A = this chain, B = another copy of it.
Amino acid sequence: MKDIAKYTGLSLGTISKYINGGKVREKNRKLIDKAIRELDFKVNEMARGLKTNESKTIGIIIPSMKNYFCTHLMSYTEMYLSKFGYSVIICNYREDPKVEREKINLLMKKQVDGLIVVPSGETISEIQEIILKKIPVVLVDRILPDMQCDAVVVNNFDISKKVVETLVERGHKRIAIICGPKKVSTAKERLNGFLEMHKKYHLEVDEKLIKFGDYYMHSGFMLCKDLLSLENRPSAIFVTNYDMTLGVIQAINEANIKIPSDISVVGFDNLPIFKVIKPSLSIVSQPMKELGDYVAKLVIDRLNDPTIPTKVIKLEAEFIMKDSISTPN
């Protein structure tokens, strides 16, 4: 910027003002523009940030870059934020709370203006501290107990009830569910919906049919194998995330069992896959774009006015019925 001042004979103050949208004499405007082009000037955002105490950057923390749900979601969030002049630093903690803690720290050091996080559930106090510092935090997909901050989640309880109810109405009495980690609110809610429907229809709950996985394909595979080897195996399986759904299908294929004649399956997330798998899979579809957009909106709103009350946005998921459900024999 100094070079531009020298080039144009104007002062630093004037250059700065112009760059930040201020008014200068037409003649000077041209001169500055020319200088910018010739010298290929780009503002140094670090210097600017140091001065303004704003990085114009939002930190995003997700469990894994290999998680379709997360990356997909964040692509919408990024798009929305960039319209408002914010860029994002996306960190993934590889499902490791220790790494999650490091990443939170890193982002604070980088002076992010806000934080978006899909939490492991083990870093409550760290996140609490950030909120205390008045830095906007938005929780995504999962909420944390007693956390006074914005959040965007889906109505897991209701959609889970709907899935289970549908299966029950089709005559299923032994329904298995493969949940996520117990620590994750989302997993708990999906399980609660499952239990609720069992209560409503006076169905016995067999503990053996309730499995907790780690959201990865392999755990879906292993847990499904467990289920299939039960002497009184379930007639339907409800899998509550995408990767575990793949694992379940793999296990079923390998066991040479047919969907849906031998077993019914309801999967989760990822529309494309059900177009490819035969028979086409019934799945729960989450409103990715809405989720992603809302997340961004909440951060921006709080950035603009830190005093607004915190909101928890709950969006509805959709149950898409396809051919992977039948009536048990």
Residue ranges of A at the interface with B (Cβ–Cβ < 8 Å): 40, 42-47, 49-50, 55, 57, 64-66, 68, 71-72, 74-75, 78-79, 87-92, 94, 105-106, 108-111, 129, 217, 243, 246, 249-250, 253, 272-273, 275-278
Contact = CB atoms under 8 A, between A and B. Distances in A.
Contacts of A277: 276-277
13 contacts: A40-B129, A46-B55, A65-B71, A65-B72, A65-B75, A66-B71, A75-B92, A246-B275, A246-B276, A250-B275, A253-B275, A253-B278, A276-B277
Interface of A, secondary structure class, is helix
A110 to B, nearest CB: 5
Contacts of A46: 46, 49-50, 55, 110-111
A109 B75 contact: no
Nearest to A76: B65
A88 to B, nearest CB: 8
Given A46-B111, A90-B90, A277-B276, A65 B55 contact: no
Nearest to A243: B272
A261 B90 CA distance: 45
A45 B111 contact: yes
Nearest to A106: B87
